[in-house]
Structure 1
Amino acid sequence: MFLTLIAFVVALGILITFHELGHYWIARLCGVRVLRFSIGFGRAILRRTDKHGTEWAVSAIPLGGYVKMQDDPEPGASRAEAARSFNAQPVWRRMAIVAAGPVFNLVLAVVFYAGLDMVGTQVPAPILGQPEISSPAGQAGFMAGDKILAIDGNAVASWNDARWRLLDVLSSGGQAALDVQPAAGGVQRRVLVLKTGNRLDPSQGDPLAAAGLHLQRPRPVVREVGAGSPGQAAGLQAGDTIVGVGDLKGPLDASALVGYIQQHAGVSLPITVLRGGVAISLHVVPRDVQAEGREVGRIGVLLGGDVPMVTVRYGVLDSVWHGARRTWDTAWMSLRMMGRMAVGDISWRNLSGPVTMADYAGQTARIGLAAYVSYLALISISLGVLNLLPIPMLDGGHLLYYLLEVVRGRPVPERWMQIGQRTGLGLLVCLMGLALFNDFARLFT
C-alpha cells in the first residue's frame, strides 16, 4: 500500500509539473510575466524568487503543481509592464501558451519511450498459444507456436505491439492480416475476421483471449529437484526445460504436464528436456502418493514458468522515431476510443479514475523501472489528450474560446464563457464520478 501511494504521488508530481513547465516556458518566451511556479499545492515549504520576479515554491501537498501568470496589468502599470500581462498578448500567443502544457506531456512520453528503446527492454515474444477451434483465431487457422511477425504490413516486435494493434480491430470489427511463422518454420499469412465490434467491457475478461488470441503458456522449467525423488533418480536438474513427456508432445505448459504425471503413477515415462540448448532423453517413474483423498503420481520437482522473451532495442534516431510513432498511435487510439465510448460502441467501464491509476502505479513499480516508465509514458499521453479536449475548464476549452475569437475577430463574451465554465465543470464532475464508480466496482468485483 505504501509503495502504491508513493509511486502514484511521484507519477503525478512528474507529469503535472512537466505539464506546467510547458505553460511556464512558452509564457516566458512570449514575454508574459510569471508570478509563481509551485510544485505541489497548499502552504509553501520552500520558496525563492528569481531575477525575473517569479516565485518558485515547493508546497505541502505533493499532488502536481501550477503556474500563476499575471492575467491583467496592475493599476498604474506602465505600458511596458502592461504588455507583459497574459490577456494583453495576441491570440496566437495565448493559444501557444495554453497548448504548451498538453504538448509537453506528449513530448515527455516520446522521451520516455525513446529512452526505453535505447536502453532495451525484455518483453514477451509474440508467440501464440492454441486457440479454441470455435474462436475467430481458431477458424482462421492459428495454431500453438505461431509467432506473429507483422499485422497489416506493420512489423511486430513483441506481444505488447501485437496486442495494441489487435485491440483496435477488436473494438471496431473488420479484419486483420497477420504474417506468422509457424513452429515448423516458414512464413504464412492468416486473416483474422471479426464481423462485429467488441465493446471491450473489462467485466467480460480479456477480449483478445475471447477471440482466441493469447500468449503461449509458460514452458515448464525445473526450478528445484527434491533429494531422493523420482526426478533426481531420472537425472533431472535445475534449469531443465521439459518439452515432452510420454505421448504428451508439442508446446507444453506446467498445468498440462502436472496433470499428465498425476495420471501415470508407477509408469515409466520417457521425458525430454532441453539442457543448455541440447535435447536430452530420460525416463522417470512417478511415485504414487496420497493427495486430497486420492492417489496421484509425483516426481518430486518444483516447476516454474518460462515465457519466451525478446529484447527490444534501437539506436538513438530509431528510438526517437519509434517513441514519436508510439506516442502518436496511442494518442490517436485514445481519441478514437473516447469517441466510441461516447456513441456506445465501447463500454464506459473502460473509463478509469485515480484509484485504478494508483493501483497500476504500484503494480508497475513492483515489476521494475522499465514497467513504471512505460506507465508514466501512457499516463502522460492520457493527460495530454484529455487536456486538449474542447471542454471548458480544460486547456482545450480555452483553445476553443481563442479559435472563436479568431473567427469572430473579437473575444468571446463573458456571458458565453461563464455558461461554458459551468457546463464544463458539470461534465467533468460527471466523468469523475463515473470513473470513481468504475474504480470501486473493479476493487469489489
Structure 2
Amino acid sequence: MLFTLLAFAVALGVLITFHEFGHYWVARRCGVHVERFSVGFGKVLLRRRDRNGTEWALSAIPLGGYVKFLDDAESDTAAGDPRHAFNSQPLRNRAAIVAAGPFANLLLAVLLYALLGLLGTMQPAAVIGDPPVSTPAAHAGFQAGDKLTAINGKAVESWSDVRWQLMDVFTSGGVVEVEVETADGLTRSRQLQLQAVAVEPDAADPMSEAGLALMTPRPLVRELVAGGAGQATGLLPGDIFLSIGDTHNPSASAVVAEVQKSPGKPLPLLIERDGTTVAMSITPSAEADADGHTVGRIGVMLGADLAMVKVKYGPFESLWRGVERTYDTVILSFKMMGRMIFGDVSLRNVSGPVTIADYAGQTARVGLAAYISFMALISVSIGVLNLLPIPMLDGGHLLYYALEGLRGRPLPESWVMTGQRIGIGLLAALMSLAFFNDFTRIFS
C-alpha cells in the first residue's frame, strides 16, 4: 500500500507540477508577475524568493502544485505594477498563459514516449496462435504463426502496437486491412471484419474475442533440480520441449500433466537445443504429492519461450513517434468521451484517483518502462481534461476568452459566476461518478 501511494504521489506530483510550470513559463514570457510557485498544497514547508520576487515553495501535501499570479486587486502592493498583473494582459496573452498548462502536459507526454523509444523496451512479437473457429480472425483466414506487420498500412512492430492500432476499431466496428508474414515467410493481406464491442471494465478482451491471441509460448527448461530425472537424462537450461509422450507442441501445463501421470514410465522426448532437434527418453521418478497420491516428477523448472522483440529508435524517430502517439491518444480520448455522451461506451470506464493510484503501483512494480508509459498516458489525460470547455478548468477559461473575443469586451461578472457554479456542479458530478466506479471495482 505504501509503495502504491508513493508511486501515485510521485507521478501526480510530477505531472501537475509540469502543468503549472507551463502556466508559469508563458506568464513570465508575457511579463506577468508570479507571486508564488508551489510544489504541493497546504502548509508551506520550505520557501525561497528569487530575484524576480517569485516565492518558490515546497508544501506539505505532495499531490500537485499551483501558481499564483499578480492580479489587478494586488497591483497596489509592493510587487504591483498594474502592467504586470494577469488581468491587465491583452486577450491573446491571457489565453496563451491558460492554454500553456494543458499543452505542457501534452509536451511532457511526447518527451516520455520519446524516452521509451530511446531506451528501448522488450515486447512480445506480434505472432498469433491458431484462431478459434467462427471468430473474425478465422473467417479472415488468419493462421497460427502469422506475424502481423501492418494495420491499415501502418507498420506494427510488437503486440502492444497491434492492440493500440485496433483499439479505436473495437469501439466503432469496421473493416481492418492487416498485412501478415506467414510461418512460411510469405507476405499476405487479410481483411478483418470487426463488430463494435461493449467497452466495459470487466468485459472480455476484445482481441481474444476477435480470435487474435499471441501464439502459445513453447515450454523451455529454466533450471534443473540436482539429482532429478531431467539432469540424469541430459536436459540443459534453454532446451525447448517439442513433444513429450504422445503430446506434440505441448504447453507448459501439458508437459506437467504428461509427466505427473507417468511415474516410473519412460517417455519419448523431443527437444530443440540451439536450433537442433534432439530425441531422448526420460523416466519420471515416482513421488507423493501433497494429497499422498503418487505422481511423476522430472526435476525441471519450466519457463516460456515467448517470441520477443526489442523496440528501439534513434533520437529523431523517437521524438516523432512520441508526437504521433500523443496525438493518437488525444484523438482517441476525445472520441471515447463523445461515445460516452451518446451511450456507445459505458460510463463505468471513468476512473478516479483510487484506480489511478492502483495502476501507478502496478506499473511501478512491473518496471521503469511500464511506469513511464503510465505517466505519459495520465499526462495526456490531464491535458485533455483541462482543455474541456467546462468553467473552473483551463478549457472553461479559454471558452470565456473566445466569447470575449467575439463580443469585443469581457463577459459580465454575472455570466462568469453562473458559469463557475455550473462548472463546480459538473466537476462534482464527474468526481462522484469516478469515485463510485473506483469503489465498485474494489468491492466487486
Paired residue total: 443
Cα distance in 2 between the residues matched to 1:423 and 1:48: 37
Where 2:157 maps in the other structure, the secondary structure is: coil
| CA apart distance, 1:145 | 2.2
Contact 2:230 2:298 in 1 (8 A): yes
1:354 corresponds to which residue? 353
2:341 corresponds to which residue? 342
Cα distance in 2 between the residues matched to 1:77 and 1:365: 46
Where 1:192 maps in the other structure, the secondary structure is: strand
1:272 corresponds to which residue? 270
Q: Provide, for residues 98-119 of structure 1, a one-character-per-residue CA deviation record: whole Å limited to 9, x for no partner.
A: 0000101010111111111112
In structure 1, stretches of 5+ residues that fail to align are none
Specify the code of the residue in structure 2 equivalent to 1:377. A
Which residue among 277, 280, 283 is the counterpart of 1:282?
A: 280
Cα distance in 2 between the residues matched to 1:389 and 1:2: 33
| CA apart distance, 1:178 | 1.1
Determine if the alignment matches structure 1 residue 304 to structure 2 residue 308: no
1:230 corresponds to which residue? 229
Specify the code of the residue in structure 1 equivalent to 2:174. G
1:373 corresponds to which residue? 372
Determine if the alignment matches structure 1 residue 331 to structure 2 residue 334: no
1:37 corresponds to which residue? 37
Cα distance in 2 between the residues matched to 1:439 and 1:88: 42
Specify the code of the residue in structure 2 equivalent to 1:422. R
| CA apart distance, 1:51 | 1.2
Specify the code of the residue in structure 1 equivalent to 2:26. I
Cα distance in 2 between the residues matched to 1:378 and 1:76: 43
1:419 corresponds to which residue? 418
Cα distance in 1 between the residues matched to 2:94 and 2:417: 19
Cα distance in 1 between the residues matched to 2:67 and 2:30: 15
Where 2:242 maps in the other structure, the secondary structure is: strand
Of residues 124-133 and 308-317 in structure 1, the stretch that sits farther from structure 2 once superposed is 124-133
Structure-to-structure mapping, 1:97-246, within 5 angstroms? 97-194=97-194, 196-246=195-245
Q: Provide, for residues 354-390 of structure 1, a one-character-per-residue CA deviation record: whole Å limited to 9, x for no partner.
A: 1111111111111111111111111111111111111
Query: In angstroms, what is the RMSD of aligned CA positions?
Result: 2.1
Of residues 297-306 and 167-176 in structure 1, the stretch that sits farther from structure 2 once superposed is 297-306
Normalising by structure 2, we get a TM-score of 0.94
Where 1:371 maps in the other structure, the secondary structure is: helix
Specify the code of the residue in structure 1 equivalent to 2:350. L
2:21 corresponds to which residue? 21
Distance change (3 Å), C-alpha of 1:244 and 1:179: farther
Structure-to-structure mapping, 1:6-85, within 5 angstroms? 6-74=6-74, 76=76, 81-85=81-85
Q: Provide, for residues 205-233 of structure 1, a one-character-per-residue CA deviation record: whole Å limited to 9, x for no partner.
A: 32222222222233212122233433223
Specify the code of the residue in structure 1 equivalent to 2:25. W
Normalising by structure 1, we get a TM-score of 0.94
Specify the code of the residue in structure 2 equivalent to 1:9. A
Specify the code of the residue in structure 2 equivalent to 1:330. T
Distance change (3 Å), C-alpha of 1:339 and 1:49: same
| CA apart distance, 1:153 | 0.7
| CA apart distance, 1:154 | 0.4
| CA apart distance, 1:53 | 1.0
Contact 1:197 1:345 in 2 (8 A): no
Q: Provide, for residues 126-158 of structure 1, a one-character-per-residue CA deviation record: whole Å limited to 9, x for no partner.
A: 122332212222222222322111111100011
Contact 1:151 1:165 in 2 (8 A): yes
Distance change (3 Å), C-alpha of 1:345 and 1:290: same
Where 1:283 maps in the other structure, the secondary structure is: strand
> What percentage of aligned pairs have identical amino acids?
56
Contact 1:73 1:81 in 2 (8 A): no
Determine if the alignment matches structure 1 residue 383 to structure 2 residue 382: yes
Q: Provide, for residues 319-351 of structure 1, a one-character-per-residue CA deviation record: whole Å limited to 9, x for no partner.
A: 110111111111111111111111111122211
Specify the code of the residue in structure 1 equivalent to 2:271. V
Where 2:271 maps in the other structure, the secondary structure is: strand
Where 2:72 maps in the other structure, the secondary structure is: coil
Where 1:42 maps in the other structure, the secondary structure is: strand
Where 2:237 maps in the other structure, the secondary structure is: coil
Cα distance in 2 between the residues matched to 1:419 and 1:90: 24
Cα distance in 1 between the residues matched to 2:34 and 2:304: 56
Q: Provide, for residues 182-207 of structure 1, a one-character-per-residue CA deviation record: whole Å limited to 9, x for no partner.
A: 2232122221112x311221212322
Cα distance in 2 between the residues matched to 1:51 and 1:192: 62
Contact 2:75 2:81 in 1 (8 A): no
Cα distance in 2 between the residues matched to 1:184 and 1:339: 43
1:254 corresponds to which residue? 252
| CA apart distance, 1:400 | 0.7
Contact 2:75 2:82 in 1 (8 A): no
Distance change (3 Å), C-alpha of 1:163 and 1:76: closer
Where 2:64 maps in the other structure, the secondary structure is: strand
Contact 1:120 1:311 in 2 (8 A): yes
